[in-house]
């Protein structure tokens, strides 16, 4: 039995434990969360979210790619969300590789240079700021005022906000 067969059994038990219930396709809290695929970050539990309350967009690093912008455009323009929460985290796998190194590895292994950017990073705060700016600068995302970025500590489970203008960094130095 492989892992997916285990999950199918889990799903039968899960469905049996719940009533049949139809929720609105529009997230109740009018929120979209963009975060990393990291297996230690249980987004619903960590943020106290329930089913039907928010869109959760995930990829390696929680990077604001064209596809994330596509999803945010649909989320805000068609499904009523208004706030965007970006959650990066400590000990991210994307900090363990470099753009050039991973690109070369892919090309060497396959003979094909990837068309996508790798988007590795070293400084997690700088990466959050970069992501906030990418959302704020996208013309396709109409509600850009309520974009906030955070770093989730995978050990303490606490969120720390990162400000684009460096206010937080300056206040820490005082
Ligand atoms: Zn990560």
For the segment 110-146, what is each residue's pLDDT rounded down to a tens digit?
999 999 999 999 999 999 999 999 999 999 999 999 9
Percentage of the chain lying above the pLDDT 70 cut: 94
Give 150 Cα–ligand 1 centroid separation in angstroms. 13
Q: Quote the ligand 1 centre to 58 CA distance (angstroms).
A: 10
CB-CB contact of 43 with 33 (8 Å) = yes
- At 10-44, the pLDDT tens digits run 999 999 999 999 999 999 999 999 999 999 999 99
């Amino acid at each position: 039995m492989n892992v997916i067969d285990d999950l199918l059994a889990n799903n039968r038990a899960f469905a049996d434990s719940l009533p049949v219930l139809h929720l609105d396709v529009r997230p109740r809290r009018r929120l979209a969360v963009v975060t990393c695929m990291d297996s230690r970050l249980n987004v619903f539990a960590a943020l106290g979210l329930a089913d039907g309350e928010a869109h959760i967009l995930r990829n390696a690093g929680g990077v604001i790619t064209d596809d994330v912008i596509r999803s945010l455009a649909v989320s805000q323009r068609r499904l009523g969300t208004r706030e965007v929460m970006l959650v990066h985290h400590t000990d991210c796998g994307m900090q363990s590789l470099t753009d050039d190194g991973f690109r070369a590895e892919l090309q060497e292994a396959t003979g094909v240079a990837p068309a996508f950017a790798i988007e590795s990073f070293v400084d997690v705060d700088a990466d959050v700021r970069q992501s906030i700016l990418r959302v704020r600068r996208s013309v396709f995302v109409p509600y850009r005022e309520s974009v906030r970025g955070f770093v989730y500590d995978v050990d303490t489970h606490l969120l720390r906000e990162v400000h684009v203008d460096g206010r937080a960094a300056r206040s820490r130095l005082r």
